[in-house]
Amino acid sequence: MTFGGFMWPRITPMVKKILIANAIVFVGTYIFRISALYQWGAFTLHLAVAKAQLWRFVTYQYLHAGAWHIILNMLGLYFMGSLMEQRWGARKFLLLYTLFGAVGAMLYALLSAVGIVQGGVMIGASGAVLGLVGACAVAVPQVMVILFIFPVPIRTAAIILGVIYLLKTLGAEESRTADACHFGGLAAGALWAWMEAKGIIRLPSRVSGEIGPTGRKWVQVKIRKGAWERKLKRQQAQQAQIDRILHKIHEKGLNSLSRQEKKLLQEASKEKSNSK
Q: Could you give the CA distance from residue 15 to residue 52 in angstroms, rounded to a whole number?
A: 29
Q: What is the pLDDT of residue 98?
A: 97
Answer whether 178's CB lies under 8 Å from 124's CB.
Answer: yes
- DSSP, collapsed to helix, strand or coil, labels residue 146 as strand
Q: Could you give the CA distance from residue 135 to residue 140 in angstroms, rounded to a whole number?
A: 8
Q: Could you give the CA distance from residue 59 to residue 62 in angstroms, rounded to a whole number?
A: 6
3-state helix, strand, coil in the chain (%, to 5): 70, 5, 25
Among residues 123, 116, 121, 122, the alpha carbon closest in space to that of 174 is found at 116
- DSSP, collapsed to helix, strand or coil, labels residue 44 as coil
Query: 159: which strand partners?
Result: none
pTM of the model: 0.71
Q: Could you give the CA distance from residue 86 to residue 163 in angstroms, rounded to a whole number?
A: 28
Q: Could you give the CA distance from residue 14 to residue 90 in angstroms, rounded to a whole number?
A: 5
Q: Could you give the CA distance from residue 164 to residue 185 in angstroms, rounded to a whole number?
A: 14
> 229 exposed, middle or buried (CB, 10 Å; 0-12, 13-18, 19+)?
exposed
Q: Give the DSSP letter of residue 208.
A: T
Q: Could you give the CA distance from residue 108 to residue 179 in angstroms, rounded to a whole number?
A: 8
Among residues 153, 161, 198, 158, the alpha carbon closest in space to that of 178 is found at 161
Q: What angle do CA 171, 175, 179 make, to 5 degrees?
A: 95
Q: Could you give the CA distance from residue 231 to residue 248 in angstroms, rounded to a whole number?
A: 26
Q: Could you give the CA distance from residue 8 to residue 28 in angstroms, rounded to a whole number?
A: 29
Question: What is the pLDDT tens value at each position of the chain, 276 positions in all?
Answer: 433 345 678 899 999 999 999 999 999 998 888 889 999 999 999 999 999 999 999 999 999 999 999 999 999 999 999 999 999 999 999 999 999 999 999 999 999 888 888 878 999 999 999 999 999 999 999 888 888 778 889 999 999 999 999 999 887 555 567 899 999 999 999 999 999 999 888 766 554 444 333 433 333 333 344 555 666 677 777 777 888 888 878 778 778 888 888 888 787 777 666 554
Q: What is the pLDDT of residue 7?
A: 63
Q: What is the pLDDT of residue 39?
A: 92
Q: What is the pLDDT of residue 230?
A: 65
Largest Cα–Cα separation, the chain: 89
Q: Could you give the CA distance from residue 130 to residue 161 in angstroms, rounded to a whole number?
A: 9
Query: 147: which strand partners?
Result: 150
Residue 225 Cα distances to 64, 135, 211, 230, angstroms: 43, 26, 13, 9
- DSSP, collapsed to helix, strand or coil, labels residue 6 as strand
